[in-house]
Amino acid sequence: MRRRRGLRLNSIIGDGSWKEEIIQVISRVAPSRATVLLCGESGTGKELVARAIHANSPRRGQAFVGVACAALPRDLLESELFGYEKGAFTGAVGQKPGRFELADRGTIFLDEIGDLSLDLQVKLLRVLQEREFERIGGTRSIKVDVRVLAATNRNLDVAVAQGRFREDLYYRLRVIEIHLPPLRERREDISLLAEHFLNKFKRENGKHLRHISTAAMRTLSSYSWPGNIRELENAIEHAVVMADPEATVLEPEFLPLPMNKGRKRSASPSQKQRKRRAGVSEKA
Ligand SMILES: Nc1ncnc2c1ncn2[C@@H]1O[C@H](COP(=O)(O)OP(=O)(O)OP(=O)(O)O)[C@@H](O)[C@H]1O
Ligand SMILES: [Mg+2]
């Protein structure tokens, strides 16, 4: 228990056994330098957990450098990761260190690793194995002490079977594998998360909302959440912003459309509610 108090894991919200389990995994994994592969659908908390691992590691005072591997074209990604020497290519007017150098003694977070091209996978494997690389256009080997965390929302088993992801890299990355479940498989956490986001956004927006009505909670609990926790966070922000300035209870009609579509029309909405819904739907 004493150790856990120092872990600063308050930002991870969850109920009972799931929270226990994830805290235990983070507390075991954080002190090591082992590579961790975080898997899970979009919005399930992969980056949140990666940051928690870094924040609880001996590297916490050093950089946490994120790289969105899917966001950059191949050549740009290569120069972002490994840097370049002056004159390495047209436009390389000066020398530039890459993210691996910037993360030296800290942590690098390779997001959407499943989108990395095969030739960059080879380069990454070398950094993982030998902890050294050359800048583009350079001949000098640069040694770095970097802890690698990677994330994917793709099924890498399938990518390996299809020859799109190197098996050796896959095994090297998943020394520790953490699977973040979709929100529809942890429905018991929806109310806790929703209350957490309500408190966050009511402060940000200066609203008086004190709690979520039973009907609104029922709507939240029965929705499928394809966008997972990020979608829930956005839905609560939407509801808080759209709520009447004086409202103290978050009602279902403040929620954005997708989850309201599945609602049973048990009570006929008042004229005021109908108008309000129409207003919400125009902007949703
Ligand atoms: N257990 C949790 N408790 C509180 N907030 C959470 C939790 N999990 C995720 N979040 C919040 O949900 C949002 C999405 O989380 P995050 O960015 O970590 O997801 P992700 O898995 O990296 O998504 P993507 O694959 O789309 O990049 C963030 O704002 C994060 O703070
Ligand atoms: Mg992410």
For residue 49, the ligand 1 atom closest to its alpha carbon is 18
> Distance between CA 75 and CA 118 in Å, rounded?
13
pLDDT attached to residue 284? 31
CATH 1.25.40.340 is the classification of domain 17-181: no
Closest listed ligand to the CA of 196: 1
Instruction: Name which residue sits closest to atom 18 of ligand 1, judged by CA.
Output: 45
Q: Are strands 147-152 and 249-250 parallel, antiparallel or unpaired?
A: unpaired
Mutation test of ligand 1: which of 17, 18, 47 has the most ligand atoms closer than 8 Å to its C-beta?
A: 47
Ranges in the chain annotated CATH 1.10.8.60: 184-277
Ranges in the chain annotated CATH 3.40.50.300: 17-181
Mutation test of ligand 1: which of 48, 54, 188 has the most ligand atoms closer than 8 Å to its C-beta?
A: 48
> Distance between CA 152 and CA 268 in Å, rounded?
44
Cβ-based burial of 100 (10 A; exposed 0-12, middle 13-18, buried ≥19): buried
The one-character DSSP state at 147 is E
pLDDT attached to residue 259? 74
Q: What type of residue is 194?
A: A
Q: Which of 85-94, 166-175, 202-211 has the lowest mean pLDDT?
A: 85-94
Q: Please give the model's pTM, rounded to 2 decimal places.
A: 0.89
Q: Residue 283 above 50 pLDDT?
A: no
In this prediction, residue 92 has a pLDDT band, given cuts at 50, 70 and 90, of confident
**Which residue, among 182, 251, 187, 177, has the nearest Cα to 214 in the 3D structure?**
251
Q: What integer is the mean pLDDT of 31-43?
A: 97
pLDDT digits (tens, 9 = 90+) for 225-254: 999 999 999 999 999 999 999 999 999 999
Question: Which residues form the pocket of ligand 1, taking CB atoms under 6 Å from any ligand atom?
Answer: 12-14, 40, 42-48, 153, 229-230, 233
For residue 111, the ligand 1 atom closest to its alpha carbon is 27
Instruction: Answer whether 42's CB lies under 8 Å from 112's CB.
Output: no
pLDDT attached to residue 270? 44
For residue 189, the ligand 1 atom closest to its alpha carbon is 1
For residue 233, the ligand 1 atom closest to its alpha carbon is 12
- Residue-averaged pLDDT of the chain: 89
Mutation test of ligand 1: which of 15, 19, 44 has the most ligand atoms closer than 8 Å to its C-beta?
A: 44
Determine the length of the chain.
284
For residue 14, the ligand 1 atom closest to its alpha carbon is 1
Closest listed ligand to the CA of 42: 1
Three-class SS of residue 84?
strand
Q: How many CB atoms lie within 10 A of CB 168?
A: 13
The CATH code of the domain at 184-277 is 1.10.8.60
Q: What integer is the mean pLDDT of 211-216?
A: 96
CA of 225 to the centre of ligand 2 (A): 16
pLDDT attached to residue 219? 95
- Which residues place a Cβ less than 5 A from the ion ligand 2? 47
Q: Residue 7 above 60 pLDDT?
A: no
- CA end-to-end span of the chain: 45
pLDDT digits (tens, 9 = 90+) for 257-281: 777 765 544 443 444 444 444 333 3
